[in-house]
Amino acid sequence: MDKINKTIADELQIKESQVEAAVKLIDEGNTIPFIARYRKEATGGLSDETLRDLGDRLTYLRNLEQRKEEVIKSIEEQGKLTDEILQAIAICKTLAEVEDIYRPYKQKKKTRATVAKAKGLEPLAEIIMQQEEKTPIEEIAKQYINIDKLEEKDKQDKDKVVATAEEAIQGALDIIAENISDNSKYRKEIKRQCYREAGIDTKATDEEKESNYEMYYDKQEPIKYIPSHRILAINRGEKEEYLKVKIQKPEEKILSYMERDIIKGNTQFTDMLKETILDSYKRLTEPSIEREIRSDLTEKAEEKAIKVFGQNAKQLLLGAPIKGKTVMGFDPAYRTGCKIAVIDETGKVLDYTTVYPTEPQNDVEGAKKELLKLIEKDKIDMIAIGNGTASRESEMFVADMIKEAKRDVHYAIVSEAGASVYSASKLATEEYPDINVSIRGAISIARRLQDPLAELVKIDPKAIGVGQYQHDVNQKRLAESLTGVVEDSVNKVGVDVNTATPSLLSYVSGINSTIAKNIVKYRDENGKLKNRKELLKVPKLGKVAFEQCAGFLRILDGDNPLEITAVHPESYEATEKLLEKIGFKKQDIKDKEKLSEIQQKLKEINIAETAKELAIGEMTLTDIISELSKPGRDPREDMPKPILRSDVLKMEDLTVGMILTGTVRNVIDFGAFVDIGVKHDGLVHISEMSDKYVKNPSEIVSVGDIIKVKVIKIDLDRQKVSLSMKI
């Protein structure tokens, strides 16, 4: 166990004591959000992201140790375990290395070598490998001819008969070829040479065929330099049968290395061993090594894509909410009409309808009349327009319409990724049993502007649409990673226990979907919860779940003012003593006039002395002070607000050199896509992000960032815009 902790500490560049504490807390069943927030003293303040990486590595390394034990046991049972094998297994750092060592001892299906072994040709293979025998090998091989010794019925079975000396020699060489291929030392060195010198070679299956993969129709690239997004693109092109992919290996160097290690001087065996090494490499080693390298490259590329997707999803989930506004959700379409839903500041549906301002009906006047009437009737402040089909035509219609409104109305373009998935889901049917599926999408779009997090948790995280090749990566791993991202986001913001939906509650630390439904049922039957302690009356929510979830649940108008903050019940006593020390009571944090005095006094606190006095950790005290300084504050308020527009920009309006403000919609390996208010998002290539070298675009921008960009290239035919942040 200590070895695993040390490995993780080295990899993550943190102290071994931090790893030890985190592992203990994870093993005790604590959730990552709970450990990150309320056990900072134990872990030395490890972030949720670091803790998730730590958890992943812990699982992998424990599985590795378990596999090592299984392999040792299997080789021991075969009576072939040596100190050398034990030592080799002990230093393995990956499952692939362990499997390479185990390869010669695995139960094999029928191969040329297993057939030769069954014929008793292993001693002959040993003689050839030792290369010491002076007697011609053909003479020695004659001793292994067995046709006269077999029973009549076995003489017809090729798998049992050795009829000639040549057959005996060939069988022995087949055994040698397989042994060479199974040798873990050779496999390790071949992979090392390939990672250093091999290249990926891609060719078109049909050069005449147009596709998105034309840049790969005749391309060579060293595997040590190829970026992960290109690996995933090549894989997809191969899967869709546009590309043929081959790893070009340094074959001469590989063969020369094996020959030097195997062949001992110039003997009667030299030529046959050279041929056997070549046969072993071509027939057995090369295909499996190619598979392993491709698999390894894909795994690393997928990990990176999943990480990027997670970072983007987190930024989207933590987008700034627009509070206290009545919003019209506008779900654009052509033939079937644009679906409209109006929701008040609490998210309640006030009105819904369908209008037809787009093709083929083009009923602009009728649509305008109906929507202006709704704007007046429901006192609408904002319009959220989905960014899907017919979005820009709808935007032009809305921009024109709001000029005639008597109220001051702005609009924003909202990502509608996953809205249709949600509309047809069981959850949407439960929420709006009497509302048509198509209208539910408009409700979702409106709510995304009001509170992105509360709305997006209702959708499968994969459908959020801010990734790169998300359908090509390991779906189980992606789902696990994204669930973690949603959990971290929900727990970072906190959840109002009296208004939250079961979808939102189920992501709170310690709460599963059953407990989430039970909380809502309890709320419906008993009215609003007055304090966190009341959660213990909820069926299936015991002391363990309470400890994990209590600090993340908010009660805005309950018995205890501390429960509008993230202060955990285990720290209530210390918090009240702290307030007493500066001359206040917990009720005072809700009084705006007293709050400014409290904030001032808290700034003067000596953290080290006060932490000792209150018998709590310094990090815990710092968090409590932060919560008391801004009680009930939503951390998303620091995030960039959506760009609110009142007029529309067309692709044709753009000119090179124009400076625009845009919203980052997606960050990928090679840059970022930015919504600048025209039909298609513009691309800021990684090379246009800064005058300095940028290794990773996410170091510079995040999803939801509002940035200034310059138009550097416009391609009207392909509807593409290139942008630069170097202004």
Q: How far apart are CA 159 and CA 157, in angstroms?
A: 5
Indicate the Cα dihedral angle 528, 533, 535, 539, nearest 10°.
-130
Task: List the CATH number of the domain containing 698.
Answer: 2.40.50.140
Sole residue written with tokens 């040709």: 121
Q: Is the pLDDT of residue 478 over 70?
A: yes
Residue 99 and residue 32 in one domain: yes
Q: Is the pLDDT of residue 294 over 70?
A: yes
635 token code pair: 């951390």
Indicate the Cα dihedral angle 12, 16, 22, 28, nearest 10°.
140
Sole residue written with tokens 């185990």: 102
For residue 625, give the H/E element and its range: helix 618-629
Cα–Cα nearest to 306, from 55, 58, 477, 464: 477
More confident residue, 294 or 155: 294
**382 - beta bridge partners?**
327, 410
Last residue of one domain, picked from the residues 58, 76, 105 = 105
Residue 377 and residue 445 in one domain: yes
φ, ψ (nearest 5 deg) of residue 209: -75, 125
Minimum mean pLDDT range among 228-242, 306-320, 437-451, 621-635? 306-320
Interacting residues of 95 by C-beta distance below 8 A, sequence separation 6+ = 63, 64, 67
Q: Tell me, yes or no, whether 38 lies in a domain.
A: yes
| Other CB atoms within 10 Å distance of the CB of residue 516 | 21
Write the DSSP symbol of residue 284: I
pLDDT of 463 reads 79
For residue 354, give the H/E element and its range: strand 349-355
pLDDT of 649 reads 67
Q: Are the C-beta atoms of 273 and 264 separated by less than 8 Å?
A: no
Q: Is the pLDDT of residue 505 over 60?
A: yes
CA angle 209, 211, 214 (to 5 degrees): 90
| Other CB atoms within 10 Å distance of the CB of residue 368 | 19
Last residue of one domain, picked from the residues 72, 105, 138 = 105
How do the residues of the chain divide into helix, strand and coil, expressed in percent and rounded to 5?
A: 55, 10, 35
Residue 616 and residue 657 in one domain: no
Write the DSSP symbol of residue 81: -
Residue type, 129: M
Q: Are the C-beta atoms of 695 and 705 separated by less than 8 Å?
A: no
Q: Radius of gyration of the chain from Cα atoms? A: 33
Cα–Cα nearest to 495, from 563, 552, 568, 562: 552
Q: Are the C-beta atoms of 250 and 197 separated by less than 8 Å?
A: yes
Sole residue written with tokens 């400890």: 547
523 token code pair: 């709320």
Whole-angstrom CA distances from 153 to 150, 162, 516 are 8, 15, 72
List, as one string, the DSSP characters of 358-410: STTT--HHHHHHHHHHHHHHHT--EEEEESSTTHHHHHHHHHHHGGG-SS--E
Q: Is the pLDDT of residue 373 over 60?
A: yes
Mean pLDDT across the stretch 316-334?
A: 90
Residue 445 and residue 342 in one domain: yes
Residue 32 and residue 100 in one domain: yes
pLDDT of 475 reads 84
Residue 441 and residue 331 in one domain: yes
Q: Is the pLDDT of residue 154 over 70?
A: no
Residue type, 289: I
List, as one string, the DSSP characters of 86-105: HHHHHT--SHHHHHHHHGGG
For residue 104, cis peptide bond before it (omega within 30 degrees of 0): no
pLDDT of 397 reads 93
pLDDT of 647 reads 67
Residue 719 and residue 625 in one domain: no
Residue 440 and residue 389 in one domain: yes
Residue 357 and residue 429 in one domain: yes
Interacting residues of 609 by C-beta distance below 8 A, sequence separation 6+ = none
Interacting residues of 143 by C-beta distance below 8 A, sequence separation 6+ = none
Strands 720-724 and 682-685: parallel
Q: Tell me, yes or no, whether 581 lies in a domain.
A: yes
- Residue 721 three-state SS: strand
More confident residue, 85 or 637: 85
43 token code pair: 């872990």
Mean pLDDT across the stretch 139-152?
A: 83
Q: Are the C-beta atoms of 232 and 473 separated by less than 8 Å?
A: yes
Q: How far apart are CA 87 and CA 703, in angstroms?
A: 48
pLDDT of 94 reads 93
Question: What is the total count of domains within the chain?
Answer: 4
List, as one string, the DSSP characters of 654-722: --TT-EEEEEEEEEETTEEEEE-SSSS-EEEEGGGS-SS--S-GGGT--TT-EEEEEEEEEETTTTEEE
105 token code pair: 């001892």
Ranges 315-324, 419-428, 505-514, most confident: 505-514
List, as one string, the DSSP characters of 527-587: -S--SGGGGGGSTT--HHHHHHHGGGEE-TTSS-GGGGSS--GGGHHHHHHHHHHTT--GG
Q: Are the C-beta atoms of 459 and 418 separated by less than 8 Å?
A: yes
Percent of the chain with pLDDT over 70: 98
Minimum mean pLDDT range among 32-41, 351-360, 392-401, 507-516? 392-401
Q: How far apart are CA 388 and CA 268, in angstroms?
A: 74
Q: Is the pLDDT of residue 39 over 60?
A: yes
Task: List the CATH number of the domain containing 376.
Answer: 3.30.420.140
Q: How far apart are CA 687 and CA 387, in angstroms?
A: 27
CA angle 429, 435, 436 (to 5 degrees): 90
Q: How far apart are CA 3 and CA 442, in angstroms?
A: 54
Minimum mean pLDDT range among 228-232, 465-469, 619-623? 465-469
N- to C-terminal Cα distance for the chain? 53
Indicate the Cα dihedral angle 580, 586, 587, 593, nearest 10°.
70
Give helix then strand counts, H and E, for the chain.
30, 15
Burial of 90 (0-12, 13-18, 19+ CB in 10 A): exposed
Q: Is the pLDDT of residue 1 over 60?
A: no
Q: Tell me, yes or no, whether 303 lies in a domain.
A: no
Query: What predicted TM-score, i.e. pTM, was given to this entire model?
Result: 0.82
Q: Residue 466: which pLDDT band, with cuts at 50, 70 and 90?
A: low
Q: Tell me, yes or no, whether 720 lies in a domain.
A: yes
Q: Tell me, yes or no, whether 95 lies in a domain.
A: yes
Task: Provide the b/e sequence for 12-37 (b: ≥16 CB within 10 Å).
Answer: bebeeebbbbbbebbeeebbbbbbbb
Q: Residue 70: which pLDDT band, with cuts at 50, 70 and 90?
A: very high
pLDDT of 307 reads 87
Q: How far apart are CA 450 and CA 322, in angstroms?
A: 5
Q: Tell me, yes or no, whether 504 lies in a domain.
A: no
Last residue of one domain, picked from the residues 582, 602, 631 = 631
Q: Which of left, alpha, beta for 469 (phi over 0: left; psi -120 to 50: alpha)?
A: left
User: Please, what is the average pLDDT of the chain?
Assistant: 91
Sole residue written with tokens 């709320």: 523
pLDDT in tens, 616-670: 999 999 999 999 999 988 888 877 777 776 666 678 888 899 888 888 888 988 8
Q: Tell me, yes or no, whether 9 lies in a domain.
A: yes
List, as one string, the DSSP characters of 206-239: -TTS--TTGGGTEEEEETTT--HHHHHHHHHHHH
Minimum mean pLDDT range among 10-14, 384-388, 676-680? 676-680
Mean pLDDT across the stretch 40-60?
A: 95
Sole residue written with tokens 């009728």: 366
623 token code pair: 């968090």
Q: Residue 465: which pLDDT band, with cuts at 50, 70 and 90?
A: low
pLDDT in tens, 572-607: 999 999 999 999 999 999 888 888 899 999 999 999
Cα–Cα nearest to 626, from 217, 37, 28, 59: 37
Q: Residue 349: which pLDDT band, with cuts at 50, 70 and 90?
A: very high
Q: Is the pLDDT of residue 156 over 80?
A: no
List, as one string, the DSSP characters of 512-527: -HHHHHHHHHHHHHH-
pLDDT of 605 reads 93
More confident residue, 148 or 276: 276
Q: Is the pLDDT of residue 425 over 90?
A: no
Residue 598 and residue 699 in one domain: no
Residue 602 and residue 699 in one domain: no
Burial of 411 (0-12, 13-18, 19+ CB in 10 A): buried
Handedness of CA 92, 93, 95, 96 (dihedral sign): negative
661 token code pair: 């403000």
Q: Tell me, yes or no, whether 567 lies in a domain.
A: yes
Domain that holds residue 400: 327-450
Residue 681 and residue 588 in one domain: no
